[in-house]
Amino acid sequence: SELTQDPTVSVALGQTVRITCQGDSLRNYYASWYQQKPGQAPMLVAYGRDNRPSGIPDRFSGSKSGNTASLTITGTQAEDEADYYCNSRDTNGVHWVFGGGTKLTVL
């Protein structure tokens, strides 16, 4: 089972960007989203049906439709420039998979 992400996405400062994650397992399971900046461990930014950990700005929101999960950043800030990864259980619900990651560039 695989999760597919666009390798690169760019967005103008202050604009809205959507990062997508596609895979068969998403028809049955929720995705989670992680932000990773250079030299740092990943950090959870969104999960499930539009949930955010405490401390994550509300400009980050998650959603799902069919086999596609999306992370939307509204009013993108310069500090949002990072790699973003999705993950979920695989189609069997036994193992886990990550998407290949999306490098977000803020112009």
Partner 1 sequence: QVQLVQSGAEVKKPGASVKVSCKTSGYIFSHHAIHWVRQAPGRGLEWVGWINGGSGNTKYSEGLQGRVSITRDISASTAYLELSGLRSEDTAVYYCVREGPSGYYGQFDYWGLGTLVTVTS
Q: Which residues bind partner 1 (CB under 8 A)?
A: 29-30, 32, 34, 36, 41-44, 47-48, 51, 53, 85, 87-89, 94-101
Strand pairing category for 32-36 and 82-89: antiparallel
Residue 15 or 28 having the CB closest to partner 1: 28
State both tokens at 24. 């068969």
Structure tokens at 59: 């400009």
- Least CB distance from residue 89 to partner 1, whole Å? 6
Nearer to partner 1, 47 or 60 (CB): 47
- Cβ-count burial of 66 within 10 angstroms (0-12 exposed, 13-18 middle, 19+ buried)? exposed
- Tokens, residue 95: 């193992």
- Minimum distance, C-beta of residue 10 to partner 1, in the bound complex (Å): 19
Closest distance between partner 1 and the C-beta of residue 62, in Å?
Answer: 10
